[in-house]
Amino acid sequence: MAVNSELLARVNFPLYCVRMLSDTHFLVGGGGGGANTGVANGVEIFCLKHDGEDCTAELVTKYDTGKDSVMSCCSFRQGLKTFVAVGAEEKVKLLELRMKLKRSSDEGEVVSRTNSFSEGGLAGRGRHSSVRQRRRSSCVDTHPLDVNPLGGEGSPRPSPTTAEVLEDPFPPSDVPPSEGTRGRPRSTSVGSSLRKPSPPPSKDDKKVVYDVTPGLSTVTDFSHKDPYQKVVGCDPSPKPTWLVTGGADGHLRKWNVSDLEKVWDVEAHTKEIDDVDVSDDGERIVTVIKDEIARVWCVETGKKLAEITFRPDPQVKYLFKRAKFAPIPDRKSDSNACFLISGHNPIGKSSLPAYIAQWNGVTFDARKRVKFNETISALATSPDGTFVAVGSMFTGSVAVYVAFSLQQVQLVKNTHKSFVTGLAFVPRAMTYLTGPYEASVVSISVDNAIKVVHVKERRSVTVGLATTVSLLALVGTFVGLRLAERSGVFLVN
């Protein structure tokens, strides 16, 4: 039975960021901050599942980040390993994720945890050795590499002796990615080829879990008052080498992922940077602050490429809230062609609608805009550029639009009890895990709930079907005329 939204899971801390790690696994992060509130800080990794009736998410890994709340994150792959760059106070910190196989019949919670995250991860450049695991012998290590390239030198990692070393237990569809997909999971068409939901696992089934190890960290924001790194974006290429950060001091900085050494530093804005996104080709960065102007930067040099202004009404000032690049689906003439989708809220006039705007992602000319009758708090684009999801501030609602036309195809009011803080689309190839839908988007909030909003399959008329109907209509007309002539309806003088 088709539904509009479902509760995937609940956590015990407010959530601020969500990221798809693979086709079936996603990460959420958040926390209560450094104050002694009793609210935890950390990240949790879930696996999407379908029991034949409902879509759910199973917790596979928990990681405590100490006194640092995780406010932003991005992820990238290097070989068989996944790295997550998280924003923690004034720093960016790298987490190394290693996938393992664990039998469903094994007892004990799946936990990878360390208390050194808030103290800077690895001291110097060495590997941290206090990661705690339960029933390690029941897991198959899928990454027998001896040295962590992002964690520096350390004791060699012993190869497992109790089990056979396997290939990547869950080979992601984003390695290598198709051209211009920002390293995100590739999508495939769904509909008639929709697979049935996966059956519940047997006791002997294995599931993918993650070991989490803290890697390098460095200070990325140097504001004199309350330094705070707010956003981070990663190199979308198949072999990522850099990431970018923005925060309270208004500077946009590029860093090498191998050693977190700074590549360039530009004073992008005079206010704190609220959002940053990287184009699919890895050549442009867009930055957003609480103003009516957004700016686009060259990834290679840090030079400003464009300045975008949104003024639909000269009597009202609209601020940029979010801006995300979206590849143009089925692009053929220009592999770098894309949209820029932005969300805008009016200043001081909550009775006025917000706007969702579409821009040319290369020239940044305005293309179209539509009204959104609530205040925007979050925005995300699907990996294939087909859809845009928007979260609201006051009602916790989630809406989904077609990126090309900005036509609304779904609106689930009161999805959350508080404002939506993050959205992430599930790759369309994985709809056998979410149900008979054209798209599904994971949503999070400070209400501690993780939900999924579904978009029903849109009815469309293909060229073949239209041709068939036209031919049948012509044949029917011809046969009708012939029968009418024979019955004498038409008299010839």
pLDDT tens-digit series, residues 193-229: 334 455 555 555 677 889 999 999 999 999 998 999 9
pLDDT attached to residue 148: 41
Token duo for residue 211: 């070991």
3-state class (DSSP) for residue 482: helix
Give the residue, 392 or 193, on which the prediction is more confident: 392
User: Using CA atoms, how far apart are residues 382 and 155, in angstroms rounded to an integer?
Assistant: 41
pLDDT attached to residue 429: 62
pLDDT band of 350, cuts 50, 70, 90: confident
pLDDT band of 482, cuts 50, 70, 90: confident
User: Using CA atoms, how far apart are residues 444 and 30, in angstroms rounded to an integer?
Assistant: 10
- The candidate with the shortest Cα–Cα distance to 121, out of 217, 29, 258, 261, is 217
Q: Are 420 and 449 in contact (CB under 8 A)?
A: no
Give the residue, 24 or 336, on which the prediction is more confident: 24
Q: What is the DSSP letter of 80?
A: T
User: Using CA atoms, how far apart are residues 340 and 6, in angstroms rounded to an integer?
Assistant: 29
Token duo for residue 37: 């509130």
Mean pLDDT along residues 143-157: 38
Mean pLDDT along residues 376-404: 96
Sheet of 366-372, strand order: 318-327, 338-346, 354-360, 366-372
User: Using CA atoms, how far apart are residues 83 and 99, in angstroms rounded to an integer?
Assistant: 11
Residues in the chain: 493
pLDDT at 123 over 60: no
User: Using CA atoms, how far apart are residues 56 and 270, in angstroms rounded to an integer?
Assistant: 43
pLDDT attached to residue 199: 52
Mean pLDDT along residues 115-140: 40
- The candidate with the shortest Cα–Cα distance to 259, out of 146, 160, 395, 148, is 148
Give the residue, 165 or 451, on which the prediction is more confident: 451
Q: Which letter, b or e, does each residue of 84-98 get, where b requires 16 or more Cβ atoms within 10 Å of its Cβ? A: bbbbbbbbbbbbbbb
Give the residue, 449 or 55, on which the prediction is more confident: 449
Q: Which letter, b or e, does each residue of 8-38 get, where b requires 16 or more Cβ atoms within 10 Å of its Cβ? A: beebebbbbbbbbbbbbbbbbbbbbbeeeee
pLDDT at 136 over 50: no
Per cent of the chain over pLDDT 70 is: 72
pLDDT attached to residue 50: 86
pLDDT at 299 over 90: yes
pLDDT attached to residue 127: 36
Q: Which letter, b or e, does each residue of 383-403 get, where b requires 16 or more Cβ atoms within 10 Å of its Cβ? A: bbbbbbbbbbbebbbbbbbbb
* Residue 417: partners with Cβ closer than 8 Å, 6 or more residues away: 396, 445, 447, 449
Mean pLDDT value across the chain: 80
pLDDT band of 464, cuts 50, 70, 90: low
What tens digit of pLDDT does each residue of 322-339 get? 999 999 887 655 656 899
pLDDT at 286 over 90: yes
pLDDT band of 105, cuts 50, 70, 90: low
3-state class (DSSP) for residue 119: helix
pLDDT at 366 over 80: yes
Q: Are 328 and 338 in contact (CB under 8 A)?
A: yes
pLDDT attached to residue 36: 75
3-state class (DSSP) for residue 481: helix
- The candidate with the shortest Cα–Cα distance to 321, out of 374, 280, 365, 378, is 378
Q: Which range has the worst mean pLDDT, 63-72, 127-136, 169-178?
A: 127-136
Mean pLDDT along residues 444-450: 97
Alpha helices, H only, 440-462: none
pLDDT attached to residue 102: 82
User: Using CA atoms, how far apart are residues 453 and 326, in angstroms rounded to an integer?
Assistant: 20
Mean pLDDT along residues 188-195: 35
Q: Classify domain 5-456 at the CATH topology level.
A: Methylamine Dehydrogenase; Chain H (2.130.10)
Tell me the one-letter amino acid at 439: A
How far is C-alpha 106 from the geometric centre of its chain's CA atoms? Answer: 31
Give the residue, 463 or 75, on which the prediction is more confident: 75
pLDDT at 397 over 90: yes
Q: Could you tell me the residue ranges of all domains in the chain?
A: 5-456, 464-493
Element (H, E) at 473: helix 463-486
Token duo for residue 389: 């999801």
Q: Are strands 420-425 and 408-412 parallel, antiparallel or unpaired?
A: unpaired
pLDDT at 128 over 50: no
C-alpha dihedral, 6 to 82 to 133 to 31, nearest 10°? -50
The answer to pTM > 0.85 is: no
User: Using CA atoms, how far apart are residues 313 and 78, in angstroms rounded to an integer?
Assistant: 46
* Residue 468: partners with Cβ closer than 8 Å, 6 or more residues away: none
pLDDT at 69 over 70: yes
pLDDT at 142 over 90: no
Q: Which letter, b or e, does each residue of 418-445 get, where b requires 16 or more Cβ atoms within 10 Å of its Cβ? A: bbbbbbbbbbbbbbebbbbbbbbbbbbb
Q: Which range has the worst mean pLDDT, 36-45, 89-98, 333-342?
A: 333-342
Mean pLDDT along residues 258-266: 97
Instruction: State how far the alpha carbon of 65 is from the alpha carbons of 12, 27, 39, 400, 426, in Å.
Output: 14, 14, 12, 33, 26
Please measure the distance between the N-terminal and C-terminal CA atoms of the chain and give it in whole angstroms. Answer: 62
